[in-house]
Amino acid sequence: MPSYPVNAVSTPDGQVNVLQITDLHLSSHVPAAANDTSSEVAVCQYSFAAIIKQALSKEIRCDLIIVTGDLVNKVEPAIYDHIFAVLKNTGIPFACIAGNHDVTDETGKDLPFYQRTLIARDADPRLLSRHLIESEHWQLLLLDSSITGKVEGKITATDIDWVREQLASCPKHALIALHHHVLPVDSNWIDSHMAENAEEFWQHIAPFKNLNVIIHGHTHQEQTRLHQGVAVYSTPSTCYQFKPFEDDFTYDKSMPPGYRWLQLANNGKVASWVERLDT
């Protein structure tokens, strides 16, 4: 069974197939039945397990699982224990980074968002920051964009320096994974909670042509953007979805939970697509 955290991935053909899951929002470590739709807690718990099962039953070889934040909806060690146990049982190397819900609890969830109280929490020590995973042709750079007690994110100056150093010192094709989005997705409410220094981040990474792709969560929707020659992928939640292009908070009840595949080719090309949970 692979050790955690994974630092290197080796494949027979050099290509790396990555399964990205994000925004699990688990509030319990007790498994839920498929027909239990009594609460959001049960739905999120069931869909996480179902997505892992469905994705890994596909014919595509999975070389690495990356979880891009918001693993939990309330910060409790037992919930992380459950998530890590499920991931370890796959036998596939994996890595997890923090989202805002991994460092912030909310009180008054029955109230409008602006009336809720945000409580800063320490991140689980298993969540990674400034972590490098290397393959024969790729370097995968994992960042923690969360701010304790906040919904919005930030890429710190230390993180930016680390990314620049990695990209400058290693000519391999590069992927960056983080939780918060670094390009607007054209929804005012969620764009007010993106990485607050995204423009500065883009300015610093502009010179590096070996950066091919950025993946993130947080937006609970599928989008693909191209910026400064970099493909930027927003990935659906394994639980509930947000409706795209809405200025006010809106659930997208027509879209089932999802996950993303990325095929990182030896020549730097990336094939990526989203799949949805069978209903």
Q: pLDDT means per 10 residues in the chain (279 residues)?
A: 92 98 90 60 91 97 98 96 97 98 86 80 97 98 98 98 98 98 97 97 98 98 98 98 94 96 98 95
Q: Look at residue 259 in the predicted model and tell me its pLDDT.
A: 98
Provide the pLDDT for residue 36: 54
pLDDT of residue 34: 55
CB 218 within 8 A of CB 99: yes
Rounded distance, CA 53 to CA 262, Å?
18
Domain membership of residue 218 (yes or no) is yes
Q: What is the pTM of this model?
A: 0.95
What count of Cα atoms within 13 Å lies in the side-chain half-sphere of residue 125?
0
Domain count, the chain: 1
Domain assignment present for residue 155? The answer is yes
Q: What is residue 2's predicted lDDT score, i.e. its pLDDT? A: 81
Structure confidence at residue 29 (pLDDT): 74
In a domain, 3, yes or no: no
Q: Give the pLDDT score at 32.
A: 57
1 in a structural domain: no
* 227 found inside a domain: yes
Residue 100 domain-assigned?
yes
Q: What is the CATH number of the domain that holds 198?
A: 3.60.21.10
Backbone angles phi, psi at 129, to 5 degrees: -145, 135
Question: Does some domain include residue 11?
Answer: no
Cα separation, 159 vs 78, in Å, equals: 29
Q: Which pLDDT belongs to residue 122? A: 97
Domain containing 142 equals 16-276
Residue 188 lies in a domain: yes
